[in-house]
Structure 1
Amino acid sequence: MAHVTVTIGGRAYRMACDDGQEDHLARLGEQVDERIDQLRIAFGEIGDQRLSVMAAITLADELSEARRRIQALERDSAAERGARDQAVRQMIEAEAEIAGTIVTAAERLEDLARELGPSPSGRVGMG
């Protein structure tokens, strides 16, 4: 288990994380610290605990909005997959219908050719 020291609101916190996650945890700490700094600028010195709670709430709000947007994108993606699958089914049906029409036309042409008899091009000395 790795350890990282993050500084938030001017205070250092030693935190444990999985090996390889040190940079990620450090970046998250920086984001929280930046949010607290933004709130401190906007609201002044209203107390570290209050600033921390406000930062946590605003980050939770952003996370909630991101989750909502992801769910909407997943719904849209599922709808698009459904529409694509329906279009593929319709295309396969159309191809089958066209193939059937071509086979029927070829059979009719063969029938007509038999009715007309042998081709005149096989005769010698016409005219």
Structure 2
Amino acid sequence: MAAEMQEQDGSTETRTVSMLSLKNNSGRPCTIPAGWASMGLSDENGTYQPLQASRQNYPGAGMNITVKPGEWVYASMKWTTDVECPDTKSFAVSWYGTWVAAPAKWFNGPRQLCPNTVVQGTIQPTRVGVNFM
């Protein structure tokens, strides 16, 4: 599994919208269970800690998705951003008990993430309609 985060156009000075993309890097199909990705955020020591987030059925209910080798699936996230909140360090996705780093691509450097403001959308088989508006 490969993962990446990318800031999206819906971001503002006080809100960050990002897309999580997950790729099947194996040589065989894998099934992503219906629901949300278990996300982590690195602490000051570089250790991933589970990211507290609320979850929404956005853009719809989750579904089991069979991902062929080389294919991607997607999910949106949003959170409150403020200069008083900590900068994001590094995201990761929990995959079978290990953390898979999800390098982030930002428009203007890392964004702040205010605790207890993260909202996750469901994992979907296509990018279309996934981004929070």
Question: What's the TM-score bracket when you normalise by the shorter of the two chains?
Answer: under 0.3
Please give the TM-score of this superposition, normalised by the length of structure 1: 0.19
Instruction: State which structure, 1 or 2, has the greater radius of gyration over its C-alpha atoms.
Output: 1
Give the structure with the larger strand fraction: 2
Q: Relative CO higher for 1 or 2, CA cutoff 8 Å, sep ≥ 6? A: 2
Higher helix share: 1
Could you tell me the TM-score, scaled by structure 2's length?
0.19
